[in-house]
Chain A
Amino acid sequence: MGRVILRSIAGAIPVVLLVTLITFGLMRLIPGDVSAALGGITSTTEEREQIRKNLGLDEPVHVQLLKWYGGLLRADLGRSHFLGKDVTTATFERLPVSFSLSLYALVITLILGIVSGILAALRQNTWVDQAAMMFALIGVSMPNFWLGLMMIVLFSVHLGWLPTGGYVPFTQDPIGWLRSTTMPAISLALLQVGLLARITRSTMLEVLRQDYVRTARAKGLPNYLVIGKHALANAMIPIITVIGIIVSLSVSGAVVTETVFSIPGVGQLLTSAILNRDYPMIQGGLLFVTLMLVGINIAVDVAYAWLDPRVRFERG
């Protein structure tokens, strides 16, 4: 197992380095810079040049690149132009928001996705199967922002059960956190449930036709043991892969949900940074996201090895 982890980490290093370089280059290739965002809609050319000078953006690109790599070697990702704080601090402030929301959404996704996928597989071609798949399809097809707004209208305006937006940290008020994140988490989860339900269904259908499942049934094992222990355990490899993708999307791609519900997560942080051309924040933020995605991939690899001894032997 240790070797699996080490190999995954070794494989990830070039990926991270490449991403940092591409990020730096791409951001400099996109026209527009921070001066337009800070100067406002009616700033003059001279005023915008003044802003660029104030922020050191008038230096040659290669000088800026060298400075950034120099900082990286000292574990210094620089300071955000806008936030007035270190990129590391700014990112760590947002990570708990995104993590807690993603975790909540993931729990909903896993429950709804796996249960509806299993039910659909067990009752293939019945109304249960069709209803589960239709539910999954609706979740994938509905625009995220529209679903969010509809939920606000129903649960906030008409029923008055939940707040329209904003975020309350769990550590400050657990009930407030639950109230402020329920609609965003559902909105985020429904998008992913379809994907998970469909992969669970197809994998389960494949596994349920295997000889060992038939043997288990022939041995007279109760249905829950056949499904839970023999079928589901063997179907978990592709499901774990999809869960890895879902977690990655939830953490880094929740921009729309965060915007609709005014939640200050990593998605909003990066979107604002990109729109404002806050270069240090974009570079540092994307580096964090890359590290996180690499971490999730390593976790998926480890889960493969844990679930399937063949993987351990092949890679070990």
Chain B
Amino acid sequence: MHGTRILEEADRLMTVCNSCRYCEGLCAVFPAMEMRRSFSDGDLNYLANLCHSCGACYTDCQFSPPHEYNVNVPQNLAIARAESYAAYAWPRAFSGLFARNGLAISVIAALSVAAFIFGFAAFNDHQVLYGIHTGPGAFYRLMPHNAMALLFGAALLYAIIALTMGVRAFWRDIGEPVGGRVDAGSLFQAMRDAGELRYLDGGGVGCFNEDDHPTDRRKIYHHLTFYGFGLCFAATVVGTLYHYLLAREAPYAWWDLPVVLGTLGGIGLLIGPVGLLTEKWKRDPVLVDQARMGMDVAFIAMLFLTALTGIALLLLRDSAAMGPLLALHLGVVFALFVTMPYGKFVHGIYRYVALVRYARERQMMAHGAAAK
């Protein structure tokens, strides 16, 4: 007996798949499945988060619909995965944010942007808000650096705490001891697997999207998004270090490291999400969790808006639009930070954790085989 209807179905599917095993060469899900004969809720949530939704097992399956066995692993695991995000959310009271995630994220983003605009207007007089500011410290005439660092530091800290608590719940649920040491090898292996999106490739040919012609587009757009996000984050970190360690204040010249990182990242973060969204709209509905479309779109939109407002700020920072754009950009980034634990962002965290678990299991199996 399982906690939800969708996990009941996941159990049925894994029982079918475990007696077939033709897909074992496609990704990590099926080898992980083969290490088990029965499946707890935690096992199924682990497999769900291990799945990268490439769709190959659906296209390759002789039992997918209209066959009476009705085997549709990608869609079932997509739904199970989304439900697991809500189940592991911390604090529990906020798990409802996953139910109508698109709406929730939109409202939070709008409120956040409004708060920054209102705050800028309330704390600055009209001339400062629409004034032209250049040179070091220009941004901080609108909002003091320490206030900015404190607010965003707090938002990020909260996100990290909430995510950590979610990961703890997930880790415990999939049967790993909390507090136990995880070997560096597994962490590194999972980092490589995640970094390469090793399992988002249909076993080598690419993902299945709108039809049975495999393509690498989703992988490429995801790389642009992920590494774009990483570069933007790196830009922020470098800027903060400049400020506190070198006493060099933003805005920086176009050739300076934070701007170069931010611009490159921003470009990735503009193209990547647009591509992902396009692919998402084209994707065969049979492969996806349609009820969760809002969650996916909201996160993609937030990343896109972060990049768009950031780039706009860079281009127009010497004009009178700088004040309102800064408020807009900070509002979007703040909303992105505080909603990280309650939106699609968590997919990366749980999938990484699942990959760590998988690396550990593989290692244990290898040791077990060697011992025999």
Q: Do A and B come from one complex?
A: no
- Give chain B's interface residues, CB within 8 Å of chain A: none
